[in-house]
Structure formats: C-alpha cells, structure tokens
Amino acid sequence: MRPLIFLVAGGSASGKSTVVQKIVSKAGLKDVLILNHDDYYHDQSALSLEQRKQTNYDHPKSLDNELLYAHLFRLLKGESAEKPIYDFVNYTRSTRTEKIHTRTVIIVEGILILENEHIRSLSDMNIYVELDDDIRFIRRLKRDMEERERSMESVIDQYIKTVKPMFHRFIKPTKRHADVIIPNDRSHDIAVDLIVTKIRQYLDESNAAS
C-alpha cells in the first residue's frame, strides 16, 4: 500500500504543529510519520558560529530539498532512511541522525515545504496554515527565547532582516499550491474534519483493495 503524504506549510509560528497533532488525534492515526522540514537545513559545521548566525534560514536555498525528496521517495518504496537532526542552539546539523521507516501516513511540515515542486509532486494533499503576522511574531519570540536559547534582540533582528521579508516573498505565495487553507485565528474544526475524512477514505479504500 502506497503511503499517503501530506505537506503542511505556513508562516513561522502559525500553528502548523498544533494542526498536525489535531489531525493525527482526530483521525486516530497510529501508523503515522511526522517529519519536520527544519531538520533538512544544510549542514553548516564548516562555518564559524557567527557565520552560521548570518544564514538566511527563511530562504529556500537554506534547505536540502534534494535529500528530503530522496528520503520521501525511499519511504514511498517501503524503504528506511537516515534523517538528519538539526541543532538550533548551534545553528547546524547535529552529529546524530534518526532512522525513519515508512508509515501508512507521512506528514511533512515546514514554512517552505510547498515551495519545492519536486516535493509537491509526491504529495496527496497540501495544507497551508494561516495566522495574523503580529500573533506569529509574538509566538516566535516566546518560542525562540524559551526553547532555542535566543536573546530577544537576536530574534527581533532576524525577524526584521529575513523572517518577515522572506515570508512575503517565498512563503505566503505558496498558498496557491494548497488544497486546504486553515485560518488559525479561530476554530478550524471544519477544515480538520475535511482532512480527516480524506485520510479515512484513503485508508478504507486501501484496506478494501488489499
């Protein structure tokens, strides 16, 4: 049975992970693999820490989409892959990797996951999570300071220099590739229900065919 692939995009701190967890919970999914596009940032271990900090992490070129595509292709064939793990404190890939195995449902989330046409070609449904810019900034500020050990000044500087302009240049335009747009500033139960229905229909059809 071919795995079902969902891509979930949206601006930084728009609530993508929360939406994904709600879909998984509501659909009652057990055999599911959730991948974070962030783990596929390029390895920057050859650069100094200061040089790493200057990287534009909101530009498509900051991500190793060829590796992600190769991994998804392997998973679709029922094979495993060694996924990189990104270290946000040190601004580069960790020396550790994680072995991932194919699952019935594969969900990939990331701000730029809908930007790459090759990755989109593997997808069964594209989802875009939308949230007001100011709320996203406040969430990002809180998250980066608490979870990624960033200073308030560095978060604000990065937001002004790259996060905001790259959002309007590269991320927001990918809404046109979305099959479902979820407004995350109010209840999104209906949108989630539609996605859950799609998943259950696919699983029922696959089980009937097997």
Q: How many CA atoms lie within 13 A of 14 on its CB side?
A: 29
Q: Are 22 and 195 in contact (CB under 8 A)?
A: no
> Worst-scoring range by mean pLDDT, 42-46, 145-149, 203-207?
203-207
pLDDT category, 194, cuts 50, 70, 90? Answer: confident
In the chain the domains, ranked by start, together with CATH numbers, are: 4-204 (3.40.50.300)
pLDDT category, 29, cuts 50, 70, 90? Answer: confident
Residue-level length of the chain: 210
Q: For residue 44, what are the contacts with CB-CB under 8 A and spacing of at least 6?
A: 51, 52, 55, 91, 92, 93
Residue 113: pLDDT over 80:
yes
Record the pTM: 0.91
Q: Which residue has the tokens 């990939």?
A: 108
Q: What confidence tens digit (pLDDT) does each residue in 62-108 have?
A: 999 999 999 999 999 999 999 999 998 899 999 999 999 999 999 99
Closest CA to 186 of 110, 119, 135, 125: 135
Q: What confidence tens digit (pLDDT) does each residue in 159-183 have?
A: 999 999 999 999 999 999 999 999 8
The residue among 108 and 188 whose pLDDT is bigger is 108
Q: Which amino acid is at 112?
A: L
Q: Are 24 and 35 in contact (CB under 8 A)?
A: no
Q: Are 81 and 71 in contact (CB under 8 A)?
A: yes
